[in-house]
A and B are shown apart, each in its own frame.
Chain A
Amino acid sequence: MTKRSMYFKMIASSLIRRRSRMFVALLAVAVGATILSGLVTIYYDIPRQMGQEFRSYGANFILVPASGEEALSETSAEAAVSLIPSDEVVGIAPYRYETVKINEQPFMAAGTELEEARKASPYWFVSGDWPETDGSVLIGQEVADTIRLLPGNTFTMTGTDGNGESFSREFRVSGVVQTGGTEEAFIFMSMADFVAAMGESGAYDVVECSISAPQTELEDIAASVTERVPDVAPRLVTRVTRSEGTVLTKLQALVFLVTAVVLLLTMICVATTMMAVVAERRKEIGLKKALGAPNRNIILEFMGEGLLLGCLGGVLGVILGFGFAQLIGVNVFSRSVHFQAALAPVTLIASVLITGLACMIPVRSATDVDPAIVLRGE
């Protein structure tokens, strides 16, 4: 039998035959590692998770005709939209506006992709339903109040189409929109209905985009749009982008500090537990010294145990920590969190280091004492 295999045999025996104590120590390390990997995963995932929540503020990026242009041609709008990374798009709603009349009173009609508008502006409060069939529209609260319309009512809209010819069409109100903003004075209809009434123009007045990305990335997108599609002027809705940045930074700082405090305390807890478990073995250390073991050997043996415990606890922690983060992600944001691959080695190293250090303190103090005192003592 070689020296090395004896070394491993001793460590393995210590871990296996002292099950209850080692379980206590392993539990401590695993709890610490779980909290570490769980909280750090959450910390890194917050901008992504919360960023989605912030999209309820609606469009943060709009495309308007460049100065000098009358409208936004469909082709250049499409070209500009194609520059936005599709996995970050929450909703992209193009709008066309025309003045129309109902009962000889002027109103604004807006044509849009209703499905997209709904995604891009989740804060719209619709009493009734979103339009599903041709010929049904959403009207703003103010319009509804002015001409006394309720969901289900029909009304006649008149106006002039693109060719200068007047039209008159029947529409059914499917829902009333409340936003507290100017949207309440509009009549929203699907682009198809709008085109059928006003005629094809091949252009939009504005395209509202809700993109799940931080301000800097939106600025990059804006720059590339300006460069490649010169007749489109991209603009950031700074009220939304800037404020999102501010609030997200605060939230991340909050979780960071909380993580730091929790980690600090957990690590101390792990260390004290390890110390208690090792301090119990002062006698064994004294005996080994009496048998002529150099301090280096004794430290190596305890470090070996610590290393093994740290590794085991770390692996458990990585797995449980991801579960912990996933639990929070699913419960709070109803979305799963990304596994931070880089975090696994960090957790492992941290738990090995802390376990090792925590072992070192009592082992060192025991090896410094004369074996006679340790063996006789108590």
Chain B
Amino acid sequence: MSLLEIRGISKIYGNVNALRNVDMTVEQGEWLAVMGPSGSGKTTMMNIIGCMDKPSEGTVLLDGIDISTESARNLTSIRRDKIGLIFQQFHLINYLTALENVMVAQYYHSMPDEKEALQALDRVGLLARAKHLPSQLSGGEQQRVCIARALINYPMLVLADEPTGNLDEANEEIVLDIFRKLHEEGITIVVVTHDPEVAQEAQRTVILEHGRIARIVVNESGKGQEGE
């Protein structure tokens, strides 16, 4: 069984058809990129996969659970248990230190554990900056804190929305490097991006246009290739 199975979903906002009858699957351990120009439905797709929105039509099976019909309350707990989110804007709580920001995710999930949170920061190479506030970190560092936070609860699926959108090239490379490592560890990754270079890294790229899947590209050069 696929980890994520999307069957014939559509999303209509008022009279805008953001997604039209999309089918897609993501396998366990796969690294998938969703690409497309602005207004192609990327964000809607990401919101639906991230349990932050529901499709108007169709079903979404995440680990065998139909998340298209769950209540908002259940969606919150599913998101907490199964998904790690990474944002373009980082979205760190600005009055908490890097370490505390990671611990917040543990706190909502189960139990805050400082040692584990430090390990997570170590994994993204930020152990030395654990006690710094977001305002004292560079953009790349903030994004790495965000990744550490997304990973802390061992999610089934890491969902990243333009993770490199606000970063310079050097930082982009660092972040992508972490993603590669994660992929090697067998973590399922879905990256939403409009950057072909980022998309290239994935095993498969789903290209959206006007709310439909225009084509699916299997990346020859993608690192993920090796995993297949």
- Give the interface of A toward B (CB within 8 A): 1-3, 6-7, 9-10, 13-14, 16-18, 283-284, 287-295, 297, 370-372, 375-376
Q: Are B100 and A292 touching (Cβ within 8 A)?
A: no
Q: Which residues of B contact A17 (CB under 8 A)?
A: 94-96, 133
Q: Are B104 and A292 touching (Cβ within 8 A)?
A: no
Closest-by-CB residue of B relative to A298 is B108
Q: Are B114 and A18 touching (Cβ within 8 A)?
A: no
Q: Are A291 and B149 touching (Cβ within 8 A)?
A: yes
Q: Are B95 and A3 touching (Cβ within 8 A)?
A: no
Q: Which of B52, B108, B114, B133 contacts A293 (CB 8 A)?
A: B108
Nearest-neighbour CB distance to chain A for B115, whole angstroms, equals: 9
Closest-by-CB residue of A relative to B115 is A1
Q: Which residues of A contact B85 (CB under 8 A)?
A: 290-291
State in angstroms the CA–CA spacing of A293 and B108 once bound together.
5
Q: Are B53 and A1 touching (Cβ within 8 A)?
A: no
Nearest-neighbour CB distance to chain A for B166, whole angstroms, equals: 14
Q: Which of B43, B81, B95 contacts A292 (CB 8 A)?
A: B81
Q: Which residues of A contact B103 (CB under 8 A)?
A: 1, 6
Q: Which of A1, A290, A292, A294 contacts B113 (CB 8 A)?
A: A1
Q: Are B52 and A291 touching (Cβ within 8 A)?
A: no
Q: Which residues of B contact A1 (CB under 8 A)?
A: 103, 112-114
* In the complex with contacts A1-B103, A293-B108, A10-B96 CB distance below 8 A: yes
Q: Which residues of B contact A287 (CB under 8 A)?
A: 91, 93
Q: C-beta contact mask, B91-112 vs A, less than 8 Å → 1, else 0?
A: 1011111001001110111011
Given A291-B104, A292-B105, A293-B76, 4 extra CB contacts under 8 A: A1-B103, A6-B112, A287-B93, A295-B76
Nearest-neighbour CB distance to chain A for B35, whole angstroms, equals: 18
Q: Are B108 and A290 touching (Cβ within 8 A)?
A: no
Q: Are B114 and A292 touching (Cβ within 8 A)?
A: no
Nearest-neighbour CB distance to chain B for A9, whole angstroms, equals: 7
Flag whether B180 is at the interface (Cβ < 8 A). Answer: no
Q: Which of B94, B95, B108 contacts A291 (CB 8 A)?
A: B108
Q: Which residues of B contact A297 (CB under 8 A)?
A: 108
Flag whether B89 is at the interface (Cβ < 8 A). Answer: yes
24 CB < 8 A contacts A-B: A1-B103, A1-B114, A2-B112, A3-B107, A10-B100, A10-B104, A13-B97, A14-B95, A16-B95, A284-B93, A287-B93, A288-B104, A290-B50, A290-B79, A290-B91, A291-B108, A292-B81, A292-B109, A293-B76, A295-B73, A372-B43, A372-B47, A372-B50, A372-B53
Q: Which residues of B contact A294 (CB under 8 A)?
A: 73, 76-77, 108
Flag whether B31 is at the interface (Cβ < 8 A). Answer: no
Flag whether B80 is at the interface (Cβ < 8 A). Answer: yes
Flag whether B179 is at the interface (Cβ < 8 A). Answer: no
